Chain A
Amino acid sequence: MSFRPREETVPPEARQITDVAVMRFEHIYEVDPKLMQEHVRQQPFPNWDTLRVAHSRHDHLAWMHTHWATVVVSGDALLRELDAETGPAD
């Protein structure tokens, strides 16, 4: 969280990612504000709260993995082993 309140209420500049989505924080996408003009308006949202929501979601997903199994096997690692045996895919 920033020291001054105004630093929390001014979001970083939006970067257009697709024709319907923008990004202000790394890997956190938002609906393009131009699509929220008529029926649902965007609300002011402090930066710390945006990050808290995103981090909480990641915490929840990580918790769900450990809830179901002790180890999550990496598909990337298995593919590297497969490539080492047979050569990479075309």
Chain B
Amino acid sequence: MSTAAAPGIDDRVLDELAQVVGADHLLTAKPARLHRARVPAPFPVHRWAEHTPDAVVLPASTEEVAEVIRVANRHRVPVVPRAGGTGLTDGAVPLRHGILLDLKRLDAIFEVDLEDRTATVGAGVNMLKLNEVLGKHGLIYPDDPASYPCSLVGGRIGTGGWSLVGSRYGHTRDLVLSFVHVLPTGDVIRAGDGGARKISKSSTGYNLKHLLMGHQGTLGVATEATLKLYPRPEAELSPFWAFEDYDTAHRALREIVRCDVATFAGAVLFDEQKVAYLRRDDEAYIPQPANVRALVCAVLYGNEDEVRAGGTRLLRTARANGARYLGDEISEGDWAARHDRYATPLHGRTKAGQVVPMSWHCEDAAVNWTRLPAVRREWHRIVDELRRDSDVFDDWGMFAYTSARTGVDYLTEIDVGIWEQELDDAAWEAWVRAKREIAQVAVAHGGSISACHGACRAGEVDIVPEELGGAYDVMRQLKRTLDPNNVMNPGKYGLDGAYQEDLT
């Protein structure tokens, strides 16, 4: 079977793309292409050229997106969709060059339905900007990643996004009712619960909505979405508590979640290495006494009387479980900053303590509450070994965020500073080995490689077949069926193998 594995685009393809999107929206200059080669995920900066697209297109409609993909199929050229480019896996990073499909011009708000409380928007709409419009109507679309001010609805669908307030409102998969999806062949369908646009529960047919979310651009591209809206909260409360050790904080977290407060929107556990990291540079934590070694925060949104009642219950429970309230200033300031982690200036330390410029890399997994301490120990051991051998890496500690209001599982992340200017092949290989081990630990403890980012990054992607078992074979069959020419984001998730073996 012929595939689009070979890089390079000839003038004939460029002419056809220009006819589709207009010459002004076809970019071939080097800066436009280099810009769109990487995301904030780990990236081998010393091999930047390997990931540069051959051309960038900025379509303005579903029809233009579909036609771009048809051109790609005719000429067997790879297509990589990109929305905000804020993903923490490498879904938007081209592995085979080709056409970069930038969705930012799909930025229309088509409808705000005040009666059924939905909004229909283009894939290039940002949640913050959408909520500025919805706020005038007393409504909110509560999809809240750490990239809230800069990520886009289309990227949230393509990556299966996780939300900070998902324990109250659900995550992207719950908040998106349906979407217009361009398949890898260029055919256009609506994916939802059933075939309707604004239905949250249907039993008609297969549930294609979940299949076509979180595929990292390997199964096509969403161009327009209909979203579920909530009343804008009257009140917010975000208490932060300090603990003398991680184990006490871990137990207190369980008790706080078990309060089952209706306005509870999420909780976060900071481990000892995270507190030590914050104590270097973060204005909230620099002055904290030395006996502050772990933290928990919770956040509540809803009607003011309910937030007050629920908050009182959480404060009482936290106090009974060894917590010390850090005060309103830290609590309110730190929570507000969590909506926008991408604005954080970043630097790390050499082992001698000197400041070096570092970028932030975050390895995540979904882990049950009971397994958090063991996973934490093993992940820090892996990063400690990296740091022992090289100043390129710095352990910035771990967070664990509730994914659901019952507290069953947590988005668990270890943050690692990387001195990118010093990356070379040896350091990159060490990093990829470490990522593979980090993923193996999560799976060995009954978890999943990623709760939020996706699992197609180098290293961890090798463990995906182990985690998914027979389901991985189904993934490959689906990929080959829906994308017969392997044009959509080839190379991701090891899916090139679907075209090289007899899968029958």
Contacts and interface: CB of A to CB of B under 8 A. Distances in A.
Contact of B236 (A36, A40, A71): A71
Contacts of A69: 232-236, 301
A78 B235 contact: no
A44 interface: no
B350 interface: yes
Given A78-B308, A86-B316, 17 more contacts: A17-B286, A18-B279, A29-B283, A31-B280, A35-B353, A35-B355, A61-B336, A65-B336, A67-B128, A70-B232, A71-B304, A72-B237, A73-B237, A73-B300, A75-B327, A75-B328, A76-B327
Contact of A36 (B128, B304, B319, B355): B355
Nearest to A75: B239
Contacts of B339: 64, 68
A58 B131 CA distance: 21
Contact of B315 (A35, A36, A79): A79
A78 B312 contact: yes
Given A39-B355, A70-B234, A21 B308 contact: no
Contact of A27 (B132, B283, B316, B319): B283
Interface string B204-216: 0000000000000
A43 interface: no
A72 B315 contact: no
B235 A72 contact: yes
Interface residues of B, number: 48
Interface in B17-66: none
Contacts of B287: 17-18
B419 to A, nearest CB: 8
A81 B260 CA distance: 21
Given A28-B283, A39-B350, A78-B315, A73 B308 contact: yes
Interface string B300-335: 110010011001100110010000010110011100
Given A28-B283, A78-B311, A82-B312, A20 B328 contact: no
Given A40-B356, A75-B311, A75-B315, A61 B333 contact: yes
Contact of B325 (A38, A67, A75): A75
A2 interface: no
Nearest to B135: A67
A89 B319 contact: yes
Contact of A82 (B315, B332, B336): B315
A75 B349 contact: no
A21 B355 CA distance: 12
B262 interface: no
A68 B233 contact: yes
Nearest to A27: B283
A40 B319 CA distance: 43
A64 B353 CA distance: 34
Contacts of A18: 279, 286-287
Interface in A50-80: 58, 60-62, 64-65, 67-76, 78-79
A66 to B, nearest CB: 9
B353 A73 contact: no
Given A65-B236, A69-B232, A79-B325, A21 B280 contact: yes
A36 B131 CA distance: 41
A60 B342 CA distance: 14
Given A29-B283, A73-B237, A89-B319, A39 B354 contact: yes
User: When A and B form their complex, which 10 residue pairs have the shortest distance between CB atoms, in order from nearest?
Assistant: A69-B236, A61-B336, A73-B237, A64-B336, A69-B233, A75-B239, A71-B235, A39-B356, A38-B354, A40-B355
Contacts of B232: 68-70
A8 to B, nearest CB: 22
A38 to B, nearest CB: 5
Interface string B133-152: 00100001000000000000
A44 B332 CA distance: 31
9 contacts: A18-B287, A21-B280, A36-B355, A40-B356, A68-B236, A70-B233, A72-B236, A73-B237, A75-B331
A82 B315 CA distance: 8
B359 to A, nearest CB: 14
Contacts of A65: 236, 332, 336
A77 B356 CA distance: 41
A81 to B, nearest CB: 7
Interface in B273-315: 279-281, 283, 286-287, 300-301, 304, 307-308, 311-312, 315
Contacts of B135: 67
Contacts of B283: 27-29
B340 interface: yes
A76 B353 CA distance: 37
B503 interface: no
Interface in B342-377: 343, 347, 349-350, 353-357
A71 B357 CA distance: 38
A64 B281 contact: no
A74 B132 CA distance: 25
B336 A73 contact: no
Nearest to B352: A38
